[in-house]
Amino acid sequence: MGELGLGLQKIIKAAPSKALVIRINLVFLAFFLVIYASLLLRPSSSAYFQNAASLVRCSLRECHHKVEKGVKMEAVLEETEAMKPKRKRNLTMLEVPSFIDEIGGGVKIGMLNFEDEDYSEWEKHGGTIPIHFQRVSELFEWKDLFPEWIDEEEEIDGPMCPEIPMPDFSKYDDLDLIVAKLPCEYPVDGWARDVFRLQVHLIVANLAVKKGKRDWNWRTKVVFLSKCRPMLEVFRCNDLVKQEGEWWYYEPEITRLEEMVSLPIGSCNLALPLWGQGNDEVFDVSKIQQATSAAKREAYVTVLHSSESYVCGAITLAQSLLKTGTNRDLILLLDRSITEPKRDALKAAGWQLRFIKRIRNPRAEKGTYNEYNYSKFRLWKMTDYDKVIFIDADILVLKNIDLLFHFPQMTATGNDIWIFNSGIMVVEPSNCTFKLLMNKRKEIFSYNGGDQGFLNEVFVWWHRLPRRVNFLKNFWANSTVETGLKSQLFAADPPKVYSIHYLGLKPWHCYRDYDCNWDIGDQRVYASDVAHQRWWKFYDAMDEKLQQQCGLTERRKIELDWDRKMAEKEGFQDEHWKINITDPRRKFLIN
């Protein structure tokens, strides 16, 4: 204010006319009015929060609610201070687990999130150091960390993540042991997607990486007090050493944990930068490329079970993977429903075959189409590999994706809301995880009756790949902008997408003349002649022997012709049903 006043005095001295003085006074008045108005009208922080959150931005897929992170986080922080209820202190004695002596106690024990407990028992085993942190706001929801849409193509300002408060790590020295109390709202609806619960996990992971003492095997010691199992996305199943009542003792590998905490805190940002350097400070793609060029105990895997209708898809998948020049193993998990001649063709296409027993979804009705969809869990039994990339048999890979072996479980592309698409995912085989999945078969409700719904309840914290890695063939936005953009991406040669995921009816189940999704009302959102032609172009380049596995059955031909008739009856405006069929497969039906 002083400087401004002086400046004004100078002006007034230089030009002492009455008119000017009045004008300056008016300017002053206006200036203060604006300040008063802005003070008066300043919205309360919660209103601010809502306004910010409801900012709508439109882009490729549709209009999306885009959260202005900068504004919002400020509001959230204000809320935390104001809303924190004053708790009555009720000290409860915190009993140490009986295996504490095996852990060795230690000189320094970091205690996290024990507010109302008396930890004098722990003090007998070493000096306890409370870790101070600011609890994340109640208003901070899972969907802020896992938004359905992010601006990954940087059409607007690029993706952004909100902040999760972390302790000031510089205040703490090396810790021999980290002990944390995890919140657990189970069985309240949505308990697994609890931001506070994630916050405590991430603080522990960061503490372990930054301040945890390492043993000879480069592991550190972490103990949780929790009613539910700590998140296995952060603290791997295999690293659990002991469990007793509500006590969980882990010895996580620091290198893996370090990788984990270097990734974005949610799917609000990409784990894999799309445009190479510059977009993401965490990852330097060239380094990843070097690190993933040597084949380790890693493989691409797909699963066929219950019927042969995806054999052709698996064949084109293998051929497309080989064309990308990968040197990883291609493993096909299959059950006995795949006959000898098909097995031979699958081998010829490039797969190594491994027989599995399919896994029933106990909640599925007998004889339904998704009865055995939990067979994918067998991926976790492939413990002769450290990491596998699962790919659905209705995906055509167009560019090398070996880069994905760099990422931890669970890494995938987004599907909708906070759900990842299980069509391409990074999986770390583990007997322990497999057992866990099997044990939860009855308890977990899968929203779509399939493995995708199930796995999304187990791995709620996942890392987002650019959607170009697993580009879904859908037109959910139903706009010409979307159709134009996606068609251009499907057609681009050299390819712009890493793979195309053929949702809806599969190309080999249609006549090659056009995408038969056009003929069925509720499948029309999946129809794309451009993507369809792309698949057939790939088919044409395959060996004739392999092509023969993609024939039409008598039954399928009848269905197709029926669908065309129905489309005519409906009078679909695009008139695909009018197209004359020239597909030679119609003349050479298979069994």
- The CA angle 48-144-255, to the nearest 5 degrees, is 135
Name which of 17 and 580 has its Cβ closer to ligand NAG. Answer: 580
- Does residue 2 sit in helix, strand or coil? helix
Binding string, residues 343-372; x marks residues near ligand NAG by CB under 6 A: --------------------------xx--
Residue 14: C-alpha distances to residues 1, 2, 10, 19, 85 (Å): 20, 18, 6, 13, 58
Contact residue for ligand NAG among 306, 400, 523, 548 (CB under 6 A)? 306
- The CA angle 457-69-481, to the nearest 5 degrees, is 75
Name which of 69 and 381 has its Cβ closer to ligand NAG. Answer: 381
Name which of 28 and 369 has its Cβ closer to ligand NAG. Answer: 369
| Minimum distance of ligand NAG from residue 108's CB (angstroms) | 28
Instruction: Kindly report the backbone phi and psi dihedral angles of residue 387, in degrees, each rounded to the nearest multiple of 5, phi listed first.
Output: -150, 140
- Does residue 396 sit in helix, strand or coil? strand
Q: What is the 8-class DSSP label of residue 576?
A: G
Binding string, residues 407-446; x marks residues near ligand NAG by CB under 6 A: ------------------------x---------------
Name which of 255 and 478 has its Cβ closer to ligand NAG. Answer: 478
Looking up tokens 């002991």 gives: 242
Residue 288: C-alpha distances to residues 254, 259, 291 (Å): 19, 12, 5
Looking up tokens 């306004």 gives: 51
Residue 233: C-alpha distances to residues 187, 339, 379, 408, 542 (Å): 19, 37, 16, 9, 39
| Minimum distance of ligand NAG from residue 470's CB (angstroms) | 15
Q: Using the rule CB under 6 A, is 580 a contact of ligand NAG?
A: yes
Name which of 126 and 450 has its Cβ closer to ligand NAG. Answer: 450
Q: Using the rule CB under 6 A, is 383 a contact of ligand NAG?
A: yes
| Minimum distance of ligand NAG from residue 70's CB (angstroms) | 35
Find the distance separating the first CA and the last CA of the chain, reported in whole Å.
89
Contact residue for ligand NAG among 254, 525, 530, 581 (CB under 6 A)? 525
| Minimum distance of ligand NAG from residue 235's CB (angstroms) | 18
Note the maximum CA span of the chain.
103
Q: Using the rule CB under 6 A, is 255 a contact of ligand NAG?
A: no
Name which of 208 and 424 has its Cβ closer to ligand NAG. Answer: 424
Pull the structure tokens for residue 30: 């206006």
Contact residue for ligand NAG among 17, 38, 90, 582 (CB under 6 A)? 90
State which residue has the least CB distance to ligand NAG.
450
Judge whether 354 and 333 are in contact, CB under 8 Å: yes
Q: List residues binding ligand NAG (CB under 6 A).
A: 90, 92, 306, 369-370, 373, 383, 431, 448-450, 452, 478, 525, 578, 580
